[in-house]
Chains A and B, each alone.
Chain A
Amino acid sequence: MSTLGQPPWRRERLDRFPGVPAWSLATSRTAPEEFPVSSQAEVSREWAWGGADGSGVRVCVVDTGVDAAHPRIGGLERSLAVTGGPDGGLEVADCDPADPAGHGTACAGVIRSLAPGAALSSVRVLTNGKSGSGAALLAGLRWAIEEGFDLINLSLSTTRTEFRPALHELADRAYFRRCLLVASAHNMPVTSYPWTFSSVISVASHDEPDPMTYYYNPAPPAEFYARGVRVPVAWPGGKEIRSTGNSFAAPHITGICALILSKHRWMTPFQLKSVLYLTARNVGPSNGGAHDRE
């Protein structure tokens, strides 16, 4: 059946493999598609996070570890790593606040730049240099959810379907425990998890330079576009590079969520997602409301 004329969220999902574009949108060249919006005009950006700095919010970066000594990080609450346990299984244990790869430090630096008051922790799930560490990702994520963080930044995903059911259950558990998973969409047109689940906030890139600009995508699974092109990011050794990828878009949304939660402490994950939606550049009335249709 043709889906012509359907709203974006009702269209048949494209078989993205190997087609492009994958999930991101060059908003500096292509205007986001118009879609109807039911306005809740009282939710403004000022109301959402005006005056907030992330204080009182606990954020966990599940990644390659974080270099706590980097000037753009400024210390960590805790630093842990998933390692092989004595019985051959995996365990989560305290470790030196270091990052052998750089990716986790880059993500943490973005969060810190937006929410300087938030308490950052790190769980290293990628360290052994070999691919296919889905089991370590699962173990680290499970620990972070049980530990009670308010936000978890996950700029990683796994393509292995064997981990899908367990990740789905974890993502739902996090959602009901008021622990919001912010996950980056894969940068390539492949299916991976958990960013494709509705219980997380999934983020792809736009190509504008403002760190506080983000858009709602009316044709998920990638629900939001945030800054992800040539992002200045922290790199181990006290350095900074510019890097491109959805990995760096997700921590922008994590940082903004930390601001919102620090001002509105008892928001649920679904409220938080709604506030993000209502303050998105292509939805919020303070930014034109061009698509506003009751």
Chain B
Amino acid sequence: MIANDPPSSASAEIAERRLLQSIVEVARHVFGSAAASIFLVDQDTGELVFEAVSGEGETHLLGRRFPPGTGIAGWVAESGQPMIADDLTEVTQFAHDAARSTGYVPRSIMAAPLIRHEECIGVLEVLDRSNALRGDLADVDLLALLAVQAACGLDFLLRLRRANRAAPPGDDLHVLLRRIATRVPPGGATDPTALKLLAVADELLA
């Protein structure tokens, strides 16, 4: 009976994580690539954090962090611009150390920023896409479409984490209710969205 289990923060993230995972699975398959991954840009440190991986590295990369500005994903996060780079085997500079530390050094990288509310919150990266007859500009457009989905998925995850931080599991319900009461001025106008949320909470508790 899942509905009766206390929602731990890990289980509460399951739907959001499945969404991100399904996006990288789709990305890997439509591009016929070796791997596809979604990074979160840590808004406090600027670090890149693996949040979903399909293909090479999927067993050990989740949660791995890289310093701000690392490699092509770092550039994409910094500039907010996508980038497609090929022939990388010739290049020693593109954060090979970072690539090697993941256990896989690609020949080509496609990376697009995940933009929500004018801000880059992450990066979608595809390694070693196949040389199919899609055409390079079609690849750019397809990557952009998947990046829009990934940005929405990552946004959901971030919202959930913020909500969890605001009301950590184990917070006393009565303390929470008193805190909410202090935020609602008596007789004042109430935000309609907040009112709806409270109505839902009322229904759940009934």
Q: Is the CB of A130 within 8 A of B68?
A: yes
Residues of A within 8 A of B85 (CB): 241-244
A229 and B137: CB pair below 8 A?
A: yes
Flag if A102 contacts B147 (CB, 8 Å).
no
Are the C-beta atoms of B137 and A188 separated by less than 8 Å?
Answer: no
Contact partners of A241 in chain B: CB under 8 A: 85-88, 90-91
Give the number of A-B contacts (CB < 8 Å). 145
Q: Are B80 and A242 in contact (CB under 8 A)?
A: no
Decide if A160 touches B90 in the complex (CB within 8 Å): no
Contact pick for B83, options A21, A130, A229, A243, CB 8 Å? A243
Check A244–B69 contact: CB distance below 8 A.
Answer: no
B138 at the interface (CB under 8 A from A): yes
* Interface pair B135/A132, CB less than 8 Å apart: no
**In the complex the two chains form, is A237's CB within 8 Å of B81's CB?**
no
Name the A residues within 8 Å of B20 (CB-CB): none
Contacting B135 at CB < 8 Å: which of A29, A133, A242? Answer: A29
A102 touches B136 (CB 8 A): no
When the two chains form the complex, which single residue of B68, B77, B79, B138 contacts A103, counting CB atoms closer than 8 Å?
B79
CB distance from B115 to the nearest CB of A (A): 6
Residues of B within 8 Å of A, CB-based: how many? 43
Q: How far is the CA of A28 from the CA of B134 in the complex (A)?
A: 12
B74 within 8 A of A: yes
Residues of A contacting B77 with CB < 8 Å? 131
List the one stretch of A37-45, A76-84, A151-159, A212-220 in contact with chain B: A151-159
User: Bound state CA distance, A64 and B79, in angstroms?
Assistant: 9
Contacts of A236 in B (CB 8 A): 93
Tell me, yes or no, whether B67 is within 8 Å of chain A by CB.
yes
* A95 adjacent to chain B (CB < 8 Å): no
| Residues of B with C-beta under 8 A to A161 | 118
Contact (Cβ within 8 A) A235 B91:
yes
Determine if A131 and B41 form an interchain contact, defined as CB atoms under 8 angstroms apart: yes
User: Which chain B residues numbered 109 to 150 have a C-beta less than 8 Å away from chain A?
Assistant: 112-113, 115, 118-120, 135-142, 144-145, 147-148
Q: Which of B41, B90, B112, B138 contacts A239 (CB 8 A)?
A: B90
The residue among B81, B87, B145 with the most chain A CB atoms within 10 A of its own CB is B81
Number of A interface residues, CB 8 Å?
Answer: 52
Tell yes or no: A26 within 8 A of B by CB.
yes
Could you say which residues of chain B place their CB within 8 Å of the CB of A122? none
A102-B75, A131-B41, A236-B93 known; A207+B137 contact, CB < 8 A: yes
**What residues of A have a CB within 8 angstroms of the CB of B83 in the complex?**
103, 243-245, 247
Interface presence of A190 (CB below 8 A): yes
Min CB–CB distance B147 → chain A (angstroms): 7
Instruction: Decide yes or no whether B193 CB sits under 8 A from chain A.
Output: no
5 nearest CB pairs, A to B: A129-B68, A129-B69, A244-B84, A20-B141, A18-B148
Report 13 cross-chain contacts, Cβ distance below 8 Å, ordered by A residue: A22-B141, A102-B75, A131-B46, A131-B120, A157-B81, A159-B80, A189-B144, A189-B148, A229-B137, A235-B94, A237-B93, A239-B93, A244-B136
Interface residues of B (CB under 8 A from A): 41, 46, 67-70, 74-75, 77-88, 90-94, 112-113, 115, 118-120, 135-142, 144-145, 147-148
